[in-house]
Chains A and B, each alone.
Chain A
Amino acid sequence: MNWYDIIFYAFAVITVVSAVGVVFSRNILYAAFSLLFTFFGIAALYVLLTADFIAVTQILLYVGGILVLIIFGVMLTSRAFNVEVKRGFLKRIPAVFVTAALAGTLIGVLTTTRWPSVNFLPYEETARPIGVLLMTQFVLPFELASILLLVALVGAVIIARREKEKRA
């Protein structure tokens, strides 16, 4: 046990527990706040994996963008903050069973697989190489992604507005 391990387990626990909170919370707002912690935990795991650029992107985009979007969605669609989230009991039994089987299978596979090389590579700067890759090898997906974002932006505006115009 060294500090690295301790920090890893601490953040892994935070991530998993808050994810459980997301999934099992009855209050939708609590779920959203749990998701915040999950995202932070994952960002910390990224830092442990020395992926600095991804970690910062995670915080900026997920926490600053997507999560805010989700909370706006919650506030716009719910009249009260503490909306009871309905869950059908009967539905949950097969879901619990299947999910448990899935998790068991995945973990079983992961622990028995012999990975070809599991050496932890030393830290290198990643922002610059990622930028270079995006502008060279991945320039087409990169441009496509920008077009996708534009389409999503326009599409979201149109979908959200259409009915209002009809009413007006």
Chain B
Amino acid sequence: MTLLHLAIAVLFLPLSGFTLLIFFGKKIRRSDLVETAILFVALAFSLYIMIEKLFILHLGTLDLTFRWIDIGALVGHPGFVLDLGIAIDNITAIMLVVVTLISSLVHLFSLGYMHDDIRYTRYYAYLGFFSFSMLGIVLSNNILMMYVFWELVGISSYLLIGHWFEKKSASDAGKKAFIVNRVGDVGFFIGIMIVFTSLHTVLFSGIFKGIAAGQLSGPLLTAAGILIFCGAVGKSAQFPLHVWLPDAMEGPTPVSALIHAATMVAAGVYLVARVYPMLDADALTVIAYIGAMTAFLAATIAITQNDIKKVLAYSTISQLGYMILGLGVGAYSAGFFHLVTHAAFKAGLFLGSGSVIYAMHHEQDMRNMGGLRKKMPITYWTFVIFSLSISGIPLTSGFLSKDSILGGALAYGMLSGNYIIPVLGYGVVFLTAFYMFRLIIVTFHGEPRDLHKFEHAKESPAVMTIPLIVLASLSLFIFYTFNPFSPESSWIMKDVVKPESVVPAAQSRGWSKPAVIETAMSPTASSTSSQAQSGTKSVTYYEEALEESHYFGMGLSLTLAFLGILAAFIIYHWKKIDAEKLKQSVKPVYTFLLNKWYFDELYGATVVAGTVRLSRMMAWFDGHIIDGIVNGAATVTRGASTLSGQFDHYVVDGLVNFSARFTGLLGRGARQVQTGKIQTYIVFALLGVIIIFFAFRQF
């Protein structure tokens, strides 16, 4: 049993759970426990795979490919083959653990949270299906299978968002998520088609080999990279397709934790990491800008929201923006590291908010909470750890990953001159700390505002607090590195190595290609002469930029984070500055942010209204022109059919009657032969055989 077989088992365990529950869910007592147990088995397998792969065997990429379609060459057609399969490299192994870990903890949490739900088994079945699809994305070694699982993830997300489909807002949110995702996926699919038509393969290894050989380059390569990134924009809720994620909070809170915080939205980041070698400089710049834009935009909106889950949703978008930004600026390992740490603390935040919502009897508005600190100590303290982590305070995992992303952004800004990216990145640090602590203070500190609900609030049962504690401990630095101030020493940063770019030298960003850097730094330097001598120098440039920015960046981000926390305490805890007055003084900005930059309205006015107008036009066209043609055709047909009716009556019927009479005559003759005795029939059959024999005999 190799690791690959084990990985296939991990992939299909949740699917078997789904099948079992969807068909026999009603018959099995405690089917929820079955599904949860299956996920924990998958988690154990994944952990085993990761430990074997990363720490014990130090294997390279494990690959299992099979030939799916093999169409041989024909005249005028070169023929093609389609290979599919699974592969495990380091990021896959880590992602397997992340997905199964979060998924199993969410299963556990749901045992308490969803206890009284009417579609309890179906909920668990969908969770299993989601886990299967997500693991499929992670394990695919080709872009086609990844796309298939990508869509399966989309459908399971749709089903889970709309779990309470009696609520119109929930079913609308499901549809919105699905449709907005489609927009990105169309781009993704076009990207796949560009890749496939130019390289005739869908395997990642084949794609990179083909690009390295120069079979796809120039603007088409840039386009393919950006189009594939479009898929990530949709799935990871990046600007401008971020609008679906906040609405997706209509789903059950554990689902939000699993799908819309930790795993599915991370799929976009994972996709970018997967195709990283084929992204050229332009595509990476686009990615970096979109990431920075998203991080900033979502953080500003998060400040103004009052629904506890909405705040966390925008915070998720913002953090996803960070990951994308990290990948875009070239801090590949840091971006992926942030994915892992974010999965832990954001799932924790959502589950914590779920615990609060559960205690408050499905109250989600922060303004009605307050003072819950004493009632729910475990939830409170874990929540604080998660918030410190997301704000990037030392000793937490978030500090490690975020700091390395920001370091990368700073280095990138210094190297390329795109200073706006690090500026936005550092701005978001302040905003993040501010809105997270605003959330904590409003929810847990101060006086209870809704006394009735407050009276009934109590700490959640153990099945809900245990996942919180597990995730809180995973949000500490100790699981990733022993030195809390050195992200570079963490095993994730060491094991997730930035893959070598395969794009043509002219299109690569040139961080590892000194010639381009020298040109950028000193335009006069000749590119050909410096290429030969500077194999080591190139690394120095990049390292230097990182090194220079390291302590400065760390200090800056820490200062900003502490400022953010301070501001939150000043405004909401000590109430030195009245929040209402502050709102009034910047009213236009506040309203703008509260309405989420009017994105929904913008899309409503442009895309949706445009579609409606287009369909009206189509309806008019249909009603007047198409129907006119149809009606005209009907009139002509009616005339023709009258004619044909006459013909039918006299000529055809006459023929038919004649043939009937003729047949009757023949039948009367032939009836003499039909004696009803088998023996006569045998004689005739034999006669027939003899006649046939002589008729076909070759003389």
Touch test A–B (CB under 8 Å): yes
Contact with B along A88-107 (1 / 0, CB 8 A): 00010011001101100100
Q: Which residues of B contact A99 (CB under 8 A)?
A: 686
- The answer to the question of B679 belonging to the interface, with a C-beta cut-off of 8 Å to chain A, is yes
Residues of B within 8 A of A95 (CB): 679, 683
Q: Give A109's nearest chain B residue, CB to CB.
A: B693
Instruction: Report B-chain residues with C-beta under 8 Å of the C-beta of A91.
Output: 679-680
Complex Cα spacing A105 to B694, Å: 9
Q: Which residues of chain B have C-beta atoms less than 8 A from A98's C-beta?
A: 683, 686-687, 690
A36 to B314, CA, bound (A): 100
Name the interface residues of B645-699: CB closer than 8 Å to any CB of A.
Answer: 679-680, 683, 686-687, 689-690, 693-694
Q: Does the CB pair A105–B690 fall under 8 Å? A: yes
The reply to whether A105 and B693 contact each other, CB–CB distance below 8 Å, is yes
- CB-defined contacts of B690 to chain A, threshold 8 Å: 98, 101-102, 105
Number of interface residues of A (CB under 8 A): 8
Q: Is the CB of A94 within 8 A of B683?
A: yes
- The chain A residue sitting closest to B687, CB to CB, is A98
A77 and B694 alpha carbons, distance in the complex (Å): 42
**B679 nearest in chain A by CB position:** A91
Whether A102 lies near B686 (C-beta < 8 A) is: yes
Q: How far is the CA of A91 from the CA of B682 in the complex (A)?
A: 12
Which bucket holds chain B's interface residue count?
Answer: under 10
State which residues 275-289 of B face A: CB under 8 Å.
none
Chain B nearest CB, measured from A43 CB (Å): 28
Give every chain A residue within 8 A of B680 (Cβ-Cβ): 91
Complex Cα distance, B501 from A67, in Å, reads 90
Residues of A within 8 A of B679 (CB): 91, 95
How many whole Å from B675's CB to the nearest CB in chain A? 10
Give complex CA distance A98, B680 in Å: 11
Using Cβ atoms and an 8 Å threshold, which residues of chain B touch A105?
Answer: 690, 693-694
A91 to B690, CA, bound (A): 19
Residue of chain B at shortest CB distance from A95: B683
Q: What are the residues of chain A within 8 A of B686 when measuring CB–CB?
A: 98-99, 102
Residue of A nearest to B689 (CB): A102
Interface centre among B680, B686, B694 (most CB of A within 10 A): B686
CB neighbors of A among B50-100 (8 A): none
Select from chain B the residue with minimum beta-carbon distance to A101: B690
Specify which chain B residues have a CB less than 8 angstroms from the CB of A101 in the assembled complex. 687, 690
Q: Which of A63-117 contact B (CB under 8 A)?
A: 91, 94-95, 98-99, 101-102, 105
Nearest to B694 among chain A residues (CB) is A105
A94 to B689, alpha carbons, bound, how many Å?
Answer: 15
**A102 contacts across to B, CB distance below 8 A:** 686, 689-690
Which residue of chain A is the closest to B690 with respect to CB atoms?
A101
Distance, CA A24 to CA B683, complexed state (A): 18
B676 nearest CB across to chain A (Å): 14
Residues of the A chain whose Cβ atoms lie less than 8 Å from the Cβ of B694: 105
Assembled-state Cα–Cα distance A105/B680 (Å): 20
The CA-CA distance from A101 to B693 in the complex, in Å, is 11
Q: In the complex, what's the smallest C-beta–C-beta distance from A155 to chain B, in angstroms?
A: 21
Distance from A120 Cβ to chain B, minimum over Cβ atoms (Å): 29
Min distance, Cβ B297 to any Cβ of chain A, angstroms: 73
* CA of A99 to CA of B690, assembled, Å: 10
A142 to chain B, nearest CB (A): 31
By beta carbon, the residue of chain B nearest A99 is: B686
Look across to chain A and name the residue whose beta carbon is closest to the beta carbon of B693.
Answer: A105
95-152 of chain A: CB within 8 A of chain B: 95, 98-99, 101-102, 105
- In B412-433, the 8 Å CB interface with A consists of none
Find chain A residues with CB under 8 A from B683 CB.
94-95, 98
- Determine the distance from Cα of A105 to Cα of B687 in the docked complex, in whole angstroms: 11
- Give complex CA distance A102, B694 in Å: 11
Residue on A with the closest CB to B675? Answer: A91
CB distance from B681 to the nearest CB of A (A): 12
Q: List 13 A-B contacts (CB under 8 A).
A: A91-B679, A91-B680, A94-B683, A95-B679, A95-B683, A98-B683, A98-B687, A98-B690, A99-B686, A101-B690, A102-B686, A105-B693, A105-B694
**What 15 additional pairs, Cβ within 8 angstroms, besides A91-B679, A98-B686, A101-B687?**
A91-B680, A94-B683, A95-B679, A95-B683, A98-B683, A98-B687, A98-B690, A99-B686, A101-B690, A102-B686, A102-B689, A102-B690, A105-B690, A105-B693, A105-B694
Q: Which A residues have a C-beta under 8 Å from some C-beta of B?
A: 91, 94-95, 98-99, 101-102, 105
Q: Which 6 A-B pairs have the closest CB atoms?
A: A98-B686, A98-B683, A101-B690, A98-B687, A94-B683, A105-B690
